[in-house]
Amino acid sequence: MTWPGLNSQILIAAVAGLLLGGWLNGVDPDSVFKAQLLYGADVAGRLFIDLLKMILVPLIFTSIVVGIANLRSHHQASRVWKLTLGFFVLSMVLAMLLALIATGWAEPGKGLQLDMFAGAMQDFEAKQMSGGEFFATLLHSLFLNPFTAMANGKVLPLVVFAVILGIAIVAHESAKGEAADESRVLGLLNELLALMMRIVHWIMRLAPLGILALLTKLMATQDMSLLTTMAAFIALVFAITIVHGVVILPGLMTLFTGKSPLWFWRGARPALITAFATSSSAATLPLSLQCAEENLKVRKDIAGFVLPVGATMNMDGTALYEASAALFIAYLVGIDLSVSQQLVVMLTAMVASMGAPGIPSAGMVTMVMVLQSVGLPAEAIAILLPIDRILDTIRTAVNVEGDLVASVVVDSRLNRASDV
């Protein structure tokens, strides 16, 4: 009897976790058995996440520096930047247009009364932050002492420093008349990256257990009555996000590369399932790199550049969700947003979804920013808090899918350009 491979183990664990968690949700809350099982799931799930976080900072730093330096020249680096950022912007704009059109058609929340959420809103204090304050904080957070960024796990300033260091290695070696791969610093970083990937392989052996534990706890601790009340909005967000992940992103990949969506999903499946279970693009990054390089055959330098940057900046699922949530809250409070106001929501959600390192509860603050951009009550964000965790699963999977698709597209376009 052949033991299933890691991909199959992860899929089986995900299904088992959803079923076990759904069953536990109906078990008596005072049950000792349920408490012990959830405690074990919590410990196992936290261990898996902690191991991924442990490897995250050195992996991001080494992969970006090596990826940039291996581009060999500033011209090539510039082309990769343009292709990467261009695809990120295109996919996020399409995601938000889809969200605004679908939410405007469905009109979720019309007729509901905010009184039903009064209790939740009394316990929530939204942090007020203007657009100017947000941009100032974001800009300030881009350039930090790299050791401080590493110690505090601040990804965005680490990405900025790694990009600058990678370009500096290329420039320095070019000035000396040597190839970038002759650099002793780059050689050391290549060795460190290889060691990080070996550790990733070890950690991923625990992935099925970690995913089983995380999904079991998620389903067992959801408030099903609240989910029923908000069912229309939850179903709409799931539907929009799935359409973007199943139709638009694979469609863009096929358009630009000619590759089959089925080929992509087979190669990306472990990363997508892990993203769904962990709700963290950053925590999924080690497996995303592994899937891109080994399954999707993306060149190591391209994957090492596009994926870490995408894990920080490219958030299709998050941008889609924030745009849809803003319209949902507008319907709840009886406000009809004009086309120009919806465009403001779209642009603000795009910027906000790129993250705000250094701000406590960054996801909630950025959602407040989107609401305030069109005068919606920031306090209404309390409505979204109880359902945010379950919605975060699917949008994170699409965030990761967008990064992987981008790496395939950029790699393919560069291959075509080099063949000309």
- For 33-44, write each residue's pLDDT tens digit: 888 888 898 888
Residue that has been written with the tokens 């534990």 in this structure? 213
DSSP-assigned letter for residue 230? T
What per-residue confidence (pLDDT) applies to 119?
47
DSSP-derived letter for residue 180 is: G
Whichever domain contains 109, its CATH number is 1.10.3860.10
The SS3 of residue 176 is coil
Considering the entire predicted model, what is its pTM?
0.69
Answer yes or no: is pLDDT of 179 > 60. Answer: no
pLDDT class of 405 with cuts at 50, 70, 90:
very high
Residue 418 scores a pLDDT above 60: no
Alpha-carbon separation of residue 102 from 111, 125, 165, 290 (angstroms): 18, 30, 43, 35
* Centroid of chain to Cα 57: 16
Q: pLDDT for 290-335, tens place per residue?
A: 899 989 999 888 888 888 878 777 888 888 888 888 888 887 777 7
**d(Cα 161, Cα 166) in Å, to the nearest integer?**
9
Q: Domain limits at 222?
A: 6-419
| pLDDT on residue 254 | 94
In a domain, 40, yes or no: yes
Task: Identify whether 392 is part of a domain.
Answer: yes
**121 vs 3: CA distance, rounded Å:** 50
Q: Supply the pLDDT for residue 120.
A: 41
Q: Which of these, 277, 323, 370, lies nearest to 12 by C-alpha position?
A: 277
Residue 144 in any domain: the answer is yes
Residue 113 has pLDDT above 80, yes or no: no
What pLDDT is stored for residue 231 in this prediction? 80
- The closest of 161, 416, 146, 162 to 305, measured between CA atoms, is 162
Of 79-83, 337-341, 390-394, the range with the lowest mean pLDDT is: 337-341
The residues, any chain, with a CB within 8 Å of residue 325's CB and separated by 6 or more, are 237, 367, 370, 384
Mean pLDDT of the chain: 77
What confidence category does residue 410 fall into, taking pLDDT thresholds of 50, 70 and 90? Answer: very high
Q: Mean pLDDT over residues 156-174, rounded?
A: 77
The amino acid present at 9, given as its one-letter code, is Q
15 or 406, greater pLDDT: 406
pLDDT category at 361 given cuts 50, 70, 90 is very low
Structure confidence at residue 126 as a pLDDT band (50, 70, 90): very low
* Assigned domain for 63 exists: yes
Q: For residue 265, what are the contacts with CB-CB under 8 A and spacing of at least 6?
A: 250, 272
User: Could you tell me the pLDDT band of residue 185, with boundaries at 50, 70 and 90?
Assistant: confident
What pLDDT is recorded for position 385?
62
In a domain, 1, yes or no: no
Higher pLDDT, 196 or 420: 196
Question: Of all helices (H) and strands (E), which one includes residue 121?
Answer: helix 118-122
Q: What pLDDT is stored for residue 63 in this prediction? A: 75
**pLDDT per position as a tens digit, 209-253:** 888 888 888 778 766 655 666 788 888 989 999 999 999 999 999
Is position 415 within any domain?
yes
Which of 64-73, 371-380, 396-405 has the highest average model confidence (pLDDT)?
396-405
Q: Output the pLDDT for position 263.
A: 94
Band of pLDDT at residue 419, cut at 50, 70 and 90: low
What average pLDDT does the segment 33-61 reach?
Answer: 82
Residues 369, 129 contacting (CB under 8 angstroms):
yes
Of residues 399 and 30, more confidently modeled: 399
Tell me: pLDDT of 394 over 70. yes
Count of domains for the chain: 1
Has residue 109 got a pLDDT over 60? yes
- Note whether residue 155 is domain-resident: yes
Read off φ and ψ for residue 310, nearest 5 degrees.
-65, -35
